[in-house]
Structure formats: C-alpha cells, structure tokens
Amino acid sequence: MLYRRDQGIAGSLGLLGLRAVVGAAFIVHGWPKIQAPTTWMGPDAPFPGWMQFLAAAAEFGGGIALVLGLLTPLAALGLAVTMGVAIFKVHVPQGHAFVAPPGEHSFELAAAYLSAVVTILLLGPGRFSGDALLFKPKSPAARRPES
C-alpha cells in the first residue's frame, strides 16, 4: 500500500518537513554520484558498478521522491538499504566511530538518515504528499453511486 492511514494535520506537517529536509539532503548527496553512477567510488571501489548505480539512483531519485511524497515507501526502503550498507559495509568495518571529532570519519549522519527514512517508511508520507493525492481511498460518500 502506497498510502497509509492519515496522521492528522500536525503529524502530516511533521512528515512533510522531515521528507523535505531529508529528501533535499539526499538530492544534494546523490547529485555528484548520479553524474558518474557506476564509478563514483573510484577505481578501487569495494562495490561493483551496478551497486554504485543503485546507491546513486536511490539517493538522487529517492530524494526527489521523498520531497514530492511520491512512491514514498519504495524510496524510503531504497534509502534505508543504502544507508544500512554504508554503515555496516563501509563505516563499521573501517572502524569509524558513531560520533567522531571534527575532520575524522563517523557514521553519525548515515545513522541519522537511516532513522529518518525508517520513520517515514513506518508512518507513511502523510496527507501532504503525492501518494495521498494519488492513492488515498476516497471517502465512503464519494464512492456511493448516485441514485
């Protein structure tokens, strides 16, 4: 289901703000990657080109989808997988701290993004979203055939 129950106006405004900020951040992070989608990690990349492409598409395309609130569960799932891979296949194996002093590597930001997209995945996009416009069930009165 692409649209879940309504979160009310306050909850939907909160989800709109979260989607907009996190989506915009993913667009900014994904833009340079989508420019060289299969080689953005360089020649010594630990991941093959097709996996780099999936990450670039998830970040850039998923960011756009979050901002629009369109196909939100699919976008959030792709972003959650991407952040999970970043944390558990890159940061943790390299010994990066959760929070590190300035200038040192950490996985704090990836964990924050993971938390945000999992929240969106679990709660849905809210009423101020493309998904609500396209997929929200019509009210019972609107579904009744005219006599």
pLDDT digits 0-9 by tens, 90-141:
999 999 999 999 989 999 999 999 999 999 999 999 999 999 999 887 766 5
DSSP alpha helices (H): ranges in 36-147? 49-68, 72-85, 108-123, 130-135, 140-143
pLDDT of residue 110: 96
Whole-angstrom distance, CA of residue 86 vs CA of residue 93: 10
122 vs 54, 94, 116, CA distance in Å?
22, 30, 10
Average pLDDT over residues 26-48: 95
Q: How far apart are CA 131 and CA 69, in angstroms?
A: 6
CA distance 54 to 57: 5
Region of poorest pLDDT, from 6-20, 23-37, 62-76: 6-20
Mean confidence (pLDDT) of the chain: 91
pLDDT at residue 2, as a whole number = 63
With a pLDDT cut of 90, the percent of the chain lying above it is: 84
Joined together, the tokens standing for residue 62 give 């998923």
- Please give the average per-residue pLDDT across 50-75, as a whole number: 97
Backbone torsions φ then ψ of 56, nearest 5 degrees: -65, -45
**Separation of alpha carbons 65 and 11, rounded Å:** 19
Task: Judge whether residue 20 has pLDDT over 80.
Answer: yes
**CA-to-CA distance for 112 and 30, rounded, in angstroms?**
16
pLDDT value at residue 141: 55
Contact 79, 89 (CB under 8 A): no
